Amino acid sequence: MRQEAVGEERWVMGAELPSSAKTLSQEKIDRYARASGDFNPIHVDPAFAAQTPFGGTIAHGMLLLAYLSEMLTAAFGQAWLAGGRLKIRFRGAARSDETVTIGGHVQRVQEGHEGRRLWCDVECLNQQGEVLIAGQAEVKL
C-alpha cells in the first residue's frame, strides 16, 4: 500500500506552490562563495564588479537555485528530496541588496498505478518582476 504524502490532495493542476522571498546581501553572497569555493570576482569583489556591465556584484546562480530547491522541499518534503527532477534556464542575474521571489504552480498532474506525478512551472524573479530563473520541476508523490 502506498503512503500518501502530507497534503497530497491539494496538488491539482493550477495549484500554487508556496512562494518565498529572499533578500540578498553581499554577506550572503560571500558566505556562498566560501561554501562553494567559487570566488569569481563578479561575486565577491565590488570594485571589480562595478566595472562590469552588471555595475556591481551578483549572486551565484547556484545560490538562487538553492532557494528554488528549498521552496520545492517545503512543498513536497521527502518526495522532492528522494527523486525530484529540475530542468531550468538562467535568464538573468540577481544583484546584492535585491529581493528575489521564488514560486511556481502545478502545470500538469498524472495519476498512475505508482502514484501521482506532478510537473510544476517554477521561477525566480527579481524585485522588478524580471525572470532570473525559469524551469520545470517534476516530482512523484
**Which pTM does this prediction carry?**
0.88
Number of structural domains in the chain: 1
CA angle 26, 29, 35 (to 5 degrees): 140
Contact 93, 62 (CB under 8 A): no
In a domain, 135, yes or no: yes
The residue among 135, 131, 130, 133 whose CA lies nearest residue 120 is: 135
Q: Where are the alpha helices (DSSP H) in the chain?
A: 26-36, 41-44, 46-50, 61-76, 78-83
In a domain, 4, yes or no: no
In a domain, 22, yes or no: yes
Contact 20, 71 (CB under 8 A): yes
Residue whose C-alpha cell is 521552496: 71
For residue 29, the domain's CATH number is 3.10.129.10
In a domain, 7, yes or no: no
In a domain, 96, yes or no: yes
Segments forming the whole domain that contains residue 108: 13-140
Categorize the per-residue pLDDT at 26 as very low, low, confident or very high, splitting at 50, 70 and 90.
Answer: very high
Summarised one tens digit per residue, pLDDT across range 38-86 is 999 999 999 999 999 999 999 999 999 999 999 999 999 999 999 999 9
